[in-house]
Every structure is written in C-alpha cells, then in structure tokens.
Amino acid sequence: MKVRKSSGIAGRRGPHHLKVCAEGLWLCGVLPSEKYLRGLAIALKVEDGDDRRARPVASVAILKRLGLITPEALPDLAPMPIKNRRGYTVGRIESGSQ
C-alpha cells in the first residue's frame, strides 16, 4: 500500500493525506480549514478495479471541484493523454465534470 503525505496541495496549507489502495480504491483526507471546518474525507472506487487511467483523472477532477487544487494543476493527469506504442498522443481521457 502506498501512502503519501503532503504538506500542501498546490499551495494549500496544512497536511493532506492521500492513500492508494488495491482494487481501484482511492482515499483522501483533508484536515479542517476555513473552507471545510470539520475537515473532509473523500473516497473513490473504480468499479472494474483496473484504474490506471480512471483514478488519476477522476481524483484530480474531484480535487479541482472542491477547490483543493488550482484548475491548472496536474495537466499530465487530467486530461490524461493516451499514447500509442511509438509514444504519439492518439487520444485523451477526461472527466465529464471538467
């Protein structure tokens, strides 16, 4: 299991904890702040479990909609480019909420 602790996401103050689990589960905890007085817990489950493409795009969209990262943050993850065997970008995966 991977656990990542960050002292701030895109300039936000205070620790945020992100956890990537098996079978397409992503968890995020945000400590209390002016915007979220009681803190915030986020859970994302990718139904088919193969979430190499879905999880990053969906989690970035969630963090952007909640104002936890800037709209310009993480351009390599959302939208996520799809590349062919030669490394050429042939498409992209994007969230319907962006």
**Residue range 14-30, pLDDT digits in tens:** 456 666 666 778 888 88
Is 42 domain-assigned?
A: yes
- Kindly tell me if the per-residue pLDDT of 2 is higher than 70: no
Please name the helix (run of DSSP H) or strand (run of DSSP E) that holds residue 92, with its range, or none: strand 89-93
Give residue 68's Cα distance to chain centre.
Answer: 10
- Kindly tell me if the per-residue pLDDT of 52 is higher than 70: yes
The residue assigned the tokens 């139904």 is 47
Cα–Cα distance, 84 to 96 (Å, whole number): 23
- Kindly tell me if the per-residue pLDDT of 1 is higher than 70: no
Note the pTM of the prediction, 2 decimals: 0.69
Is 65 domain-assigned?
A: yes
Q: Which structural domain range is residue 80 located in?
A: 2-93
Is 71 domain-assigned?
A: yes
Is 74 domain-assigned?
A: yes
Average pLDDT over the chain reads 78
Domain count, the chain: 1
Is 40 domain-assigned?
A: yes
- Kindly tell me if the per-residue pLDDT of 3 is higher than 80: no
- Count each helix (H run) and each strand (E run) in the chain, helices first: 1, 6
Is 98 domain-assigned?
A: no
* Of 76, 55, 75, nearest in space to 2 by CA: 55
Cβ pair 51, 85 in contact under 8 A: no
Q: Which two tokens stand for residue 63?
A: 């963090």
pLDDT at 19: 64
What number is the average pLDDT over the span 40-47?
A: 87
